[in-house]
Amino acid sequence: MTQVTLRSQTIIEKLHSLTPQQQQAVIDFIEFLQFQADKKEISLEEEPISAYEAAQDLAGCIESGIGDLSYNKKYLESPSRK
């Protein structure tokens, strides 16, 4: 038998000797370990980016006719009145 098969068999034998509540605790712990492993994979795959980089392709995608708000000070004072 391979070591993996032997280890799996040992785990199953020990699991059968536990109460149903203890078996559920083992299942919960295994799911927690899987969650941690998935979380590490996600964090390693992507490097953090700034909000500007995330929305860069959206800049200027809406045509409002207002133009550059930094030069339109009156619009900034009261956006409801153009």
**Residue boundaries of the structural domains of the chain:** 3-56
Give the three-state DSSP class for 38: helix
The pLDDT of residue 58: 75
- Give the phi and the psi of residue 4 in degrees, each rounded to 5: -65, -45
What's the rounded Cα separation, in Å, for the pair 61 and 38? Answer: 35
CA dihedral 45, 51, 57, 63 (to 10 degrees): 160
**21-65 pLDDT per residue, tens:** 999 999 999 999 999 888 776 655 667 788 888 877 777 666 666
The pLDDT of residue 48: 77
Mean pLDDT along residues 2-31: 92
The pLDDT of residue 64: 66
Which residues, 6+ apart, have CB-to-CB distance to 18 below 8 Å?
A: 26
The pLDDT of residue 78: 64
Mean pLDDT along residues 11-16: 93
